[in-house]
């Protein structure tokens, strides 16, 4: 029986291995982690991450050919194929701070694999890493072993949170990069054979190692660039009276462009886009490609601009101050159908409003109070470390309350900010919300999910990203 071990039981390691176990009953899959709390949660009824469809898959395989364990070394020793799906955060200190990927966790995983192994192994890069990481990992492995053959493969993951199970079951492509030697190609074939259990052959693409590593960064950079392009356009729409939804629809109808990833928003978030673009920028700079680095910096600059533009709209519309006012925040996760808050635009928006002394009442169906308090107090990039190595929760910010109901959050509020596109926010009883708010009652829709006309009829003053402005908002223009 082929044995797979995955280091890292996070958003990638957990769901990816669960699907391999589901689709490959003849393979034993063990997911290990240095956080024993995470492993305990994977073995419980309350999985550590929320992902539609994940519970069912885990329940059907756990204890059969899918296992979660803290005994890292035992399972590495026994495995034929080792996936490494550990954190690769942005460095916060030293050379490349604020941009370069911090490979501490990857390096320690590689050293441990070298120490523990007694037989040949295929080591698969699942984490997103800088191009040429495989070369460094190869050096660590080969300089520390006793004649054992390690083949390194790059197999970047393209799943998106909220749709991870569907993305894994039906991937657009699976990318496998390996050395162009006979041993390298044999390892590529072995990994191909795993995916071939459910992925059509023409969607499994073999490339060289460096193309696979760079393709992951490139794909995220291009996706984020589409969002920044439409978000940049949203500012122009507000200035001219065009409607960004109509513009995006018209643009996306061009078959060369396509309709996906053209939704204007309060900004993109998530653990990947900003981190991976910063990483790309650093690699460009290291290669002397300043113009290329500056090009990609623009994508992040527009994203930051979009978040601060939103805060400015809120404050300027509400008589240029939110001091002492209650602002309801609906949605804190970085997108719907996940409880993940890493780099969510809600953090920057809330911090902006707190800077203007607002009192904030937050409701998100999947995010806990503890998580929100930690997010609002943590330093940039501290969130992307193993759970038990993150800073302890500091004292709570008292201007922030977290409630478990949208009506409670909006009661007596002066304004409402919609920051995540949860489906339930589309069908709220907005008449009831209006009745219970201070007047004039404002709604700032950062996800373009509400029916603007309907809400204006109820009596709300509505701001919706990139849509023709309410005359009230137009008369109080926000400085960018």
Ligand X SMILES: O=c1ccn([C@@H]2O[C@H](COP(=O)(O)OP(=O)(O)O[C@H]3O[C@H](CO)[C@@H](O)[C@H](O)[C@H]3O)[C@@H](O)[C@H]2O)c(=O)[nH]1
342 is in an annotated binding site: yes
Distance of alpha carbon 210 from the chain centroid: 23
9 is in an annotated binding site: yes
116 is in an annotated binding site: no
Check binding of 88 to ligand NAD (CB under 6 A). yes
- Closest separation in Å from C-beta 273 to ligand X: 6
Three-class DSSP category at 171: coil
Shorter beta-carbon distance to ligand X: residue 133 or 263: 263
Dihedral (C-alpha) 94, 96, 98, 99: value to the nearest 10 degrees? -160
267 is in an annotated binding site: no
Q: Establish whether 286 is a catalytic residue.
A: no
Q: Looking at 272, 284, 350, 417, which residue is catalytic? A: 272
How far is residue 115's CA from residue 146's CA, in Å, rounded to a whole number? 9
Instruction: Pick one of ligand X, ligand NAD, none as the site partner of residue 48 (Cβ within 5 to 8 A by kind).
Output: none
Residue entry with tokens 């460096």 = 210
Angle of helix 290-317 relative to helix 209-240, nearest 10 degrees, comes to 40
End-to-end CA distance of the chain: 60
Kindly list the residues in this chain that would bind ligand X in the complex (CB under 6 A).
Answer: 128, 157-161, 220, 223, 227, 261-263, 265, 268-270, 272-273, 334-335
Per-residue tokens: 270:
């998530």
* Phi, psi for residue 360 in degrees, rounded to 5: -115, 135
Shorter beta-carbon distance to ligand X: residue 125 or 161: 161
Shorter beta-carbon distance to ligand X: residue 261 or 407: 261
Q: Which residue is nearest to ligand NAD (CB)?
A: 10
477 is in an annotated binding site: no
Residues between 370 and 389 that touch ligand NAD (CB under 6 A) = 386
Shorter beta-carbon distance to ligand X: residue 65 or 128: 128
Judge whether 466 and 238 are in contact, CB under 8 Å. Answer: yes
- Closest separation in Å from C-beta 344 to ligand NAD: 13
Per-residue tokens: 316:
């300027």
- Closest separation in Å from C-beta 420 to ligand X: 8
Judge whether 177 and 207 are in contact, CB under 8 Å. Answer: yes
Q: Which residues, including other chains, have CB under 8 Å from residue 46's CB and lie 6 or more apart?
A: none
Residue entry with tokens 């070369």 = 135
Look up residue 317 and give its DSSP letter: H
How far is residue 256's CA from residue 173's CA, in Å, rounded to a whole number? 19
The residues with which 150 forms a beta bridge, in sequence order, are 121
**DSSP annotation string for 433-467:** HHHTS-SS-EEEESS--S-HHHHHHHT-EEEETTS
Instruction: Pick one of ligand NAD, ligand X, none as the site partner of residue 69 (Cβ within 5 to 8 A by kind).
Output: none
The residues with which 415 forms a beta bridge, in sequence order, are 327, 442
Considering only 33-41, 299-307, 427-435, 458-466, which stretch makes contact with ligand NAD by CB under 6 A? 33-41
Which of 215, 228, 245, 271 lies at the binding interface for ligand NAD (CB under 6 A)?
A: 271
Instruction: Pick one of ligand X, ligand NAD, none as the site partner of residue 7 (Cβ within 5 to 8 A by kind).
Output: ligand NAD
Shorter beta-carbon distance to ligand X: residue 227 or 347: 227
Check binding of 243 to ligand NAD (CB under 6 A). no
Show binding-site residues for NAD(+): 8-13, 33, 38, 86-90, 127-128, 161, 272-275, 342
Annotated binding site: 8-13, 33, 38, 86-90, 127-128, 161, 272-275, 342
Residues with active-site annotation: 272
């Amino acid at each position: 029986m082929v044995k797979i071990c995955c280091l890292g039981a996070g958003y990638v390691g957990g769901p990816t291995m669960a699907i391999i176990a589901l689709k490959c009953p003849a393979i034993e899959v063990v997911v290990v982690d240095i956080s024993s709390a995470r492993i305990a949660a994977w073995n419980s009824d309350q999985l550590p991450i929320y992902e539609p469809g994940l519970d069912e898959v885990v329940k059907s395989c756990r204890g059969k050919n899918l296992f979660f364990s803290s005994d890292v070394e035992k399972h590495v020793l026994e495995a034929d194929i080792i996936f490494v799906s550990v954190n690769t955060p942005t460095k916060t200190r030293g050379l490349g701070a604020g941009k370069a990927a911090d490979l501490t966790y990857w390096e320690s995983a590689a050293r441990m694999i070298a120490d523990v192994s007694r037989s040949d192994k295929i080591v698969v890069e699942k984490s997103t890493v800088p191009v040429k990481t495989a070369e460094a990992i190869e050096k660590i492995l080969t300089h520390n072993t006793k004649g054992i053959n390690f083949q390194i493969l790059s197999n970047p993951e393209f799943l998106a949170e909220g749709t991870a199970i569907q993305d894994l079951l039906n991937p657009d492509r699976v990318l496998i990069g390996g050395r162009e030697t006979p041993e390298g190609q044999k390892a590529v074939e072995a990994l191909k054979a795993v995916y071939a259990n459910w992925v059509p052959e023409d969607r499994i693409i073999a490339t060289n190692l460096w193309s696979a590593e760079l393709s992951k960064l490139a794909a995220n950079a291009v996706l984020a660039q589409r969002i920044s392009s439409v978000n940049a356009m949203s500012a122009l729409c507000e200035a001219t009276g065009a409607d960004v939804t109509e513009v995006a629809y018209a643009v996306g109808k061009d078959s060369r462009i396509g309709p996906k990833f053209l939704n204007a928003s309060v900004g993109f978030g998530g653990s990947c886009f900003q981190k991976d673009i910063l990483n790309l920028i650093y690699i460009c700079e290291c290669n002397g490609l300043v113009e290329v680095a500056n090009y990609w910096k623009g994508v992040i600059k527009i994203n930051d601009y979009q978040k601060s533009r939103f805060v400015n709209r809120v404050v300027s519309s509400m008589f240029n101050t939110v001091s002492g006012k209650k602002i309801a925040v609906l949605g804190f996760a970085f997108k719907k159908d996940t409880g993940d808050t890493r780099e969510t635009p809600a953090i920057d928006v809330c911090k902006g409003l707190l800077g203007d002394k607002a009192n904030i009442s937050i409701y998100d169906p999947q995010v806990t109070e503890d998580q929100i308090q930690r997010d609002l107090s943590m330093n940039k990039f501290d969130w992307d470390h193993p759970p038990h190595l993150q800073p302890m929760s500091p004292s709570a910010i008292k201007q922030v309350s977290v409630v478990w109901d949208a009506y409670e959050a909006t009661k007596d509020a002066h304004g409402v900010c919609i920051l995540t596109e949860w489906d339930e926010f589309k069908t709220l009883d907005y008449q009831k919300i209006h009745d219970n708010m201070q007047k004039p009652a404002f709604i700032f829709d950062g996800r373009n999910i509400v029916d603007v006309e309907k809400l204006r009829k109820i009596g709300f003053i509505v701001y919706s990203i990139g849509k023709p402005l309410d005359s009230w908002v137009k008369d109080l223009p926000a400085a960018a």
